[in-house]
Amino acid sequence: MIKQSILVLSLLITTGLTNANAQDKKQLNHNSKKTINMETAKTAIEKLLFNYQDALNVSDVNKVLPLYTQDGVFMPQGGPSAIGQAQLKGAYEFVFKNLQLNIKFQIDEIVVVSEDYAFARTVSRGTQLIHATGVKGEEENRELFVLQKENGAWKIARYVFNKMK
């Protein structure tokens, strides 16, 4: 009886370990797929951020707006928040009417939180030309982007920046 109990116990342990190993492999494969998706997401987000940089540098509202979600929020330093596409349009028209940017983004961090949300931390450096005065000066900001997938594409959901100097 004791020998049978030991044999049954051994079989249960072996079966349990085999199932556990199979579960571990399944999880590993699942995590590997997630890793690939994270890399794909990070690449798409980098492209989005550089498209935003380029849209700012050519002062093109029509290139900026599609980069935001429908309910996107722009929170400029010293100005009111713009919420949604209509307010975003007005805010960027105001910005581009008043200044010309020539900046480059340095991406410090991209964190993909889930399949639909991520955030990015960047620094932008370059120059700005103030149209009213003709004065050109250095421009340097820290930025935080909250990104959201909308209709299968990464977009800017929230964007805030502040001057570094």
The helix (run of H) or strand (run of E) holding residue 4 is: helix 2-57
Q: What is the pLDDT of residue 11?
A: 36
Q: What is the CATH number of the domain that holds 143?
A: 3.10.450.50
Q: What's the rounded Cα separation, in Å, for the pair 58 and 56?
A: 6
Query: Does residue 8 lie within any of the structural domains?
Result: no
Count of structural domains within the chain = 1
Token duo for residue 7? 């044999």
Query: Does residue 128 lie within any of the structural domains?
Result: yes
Structural domain including 130 reads 24-163
Provide, for the chain, the percentages of residues in helix, strand and coil under a 3-state DSSP scheme, each rounded to the nearest 5: 45, 40, 15
- Residuewise pLDDT in 10s, the chain (165 residues): 544 444 333 433 344 434 444 433 333 344 545 555 888 999 999 999 999 999 999 999 999 999 999 999 999 999 999 999 999 999 999 999 999 999 999 999 999 999 999 999 999 999 999 999 999 999 999 999 999 999 999 999 999 999 987
Query: Does residue 57 lie within any of the structural domains?
Result: yes
**DSSP-assigned states of every residue in 41-82:** HHHHHHHHHHHHHHHHHTT-HHHHGGGEEEEEEEE-TTS--E
pTM summary value:
0.78
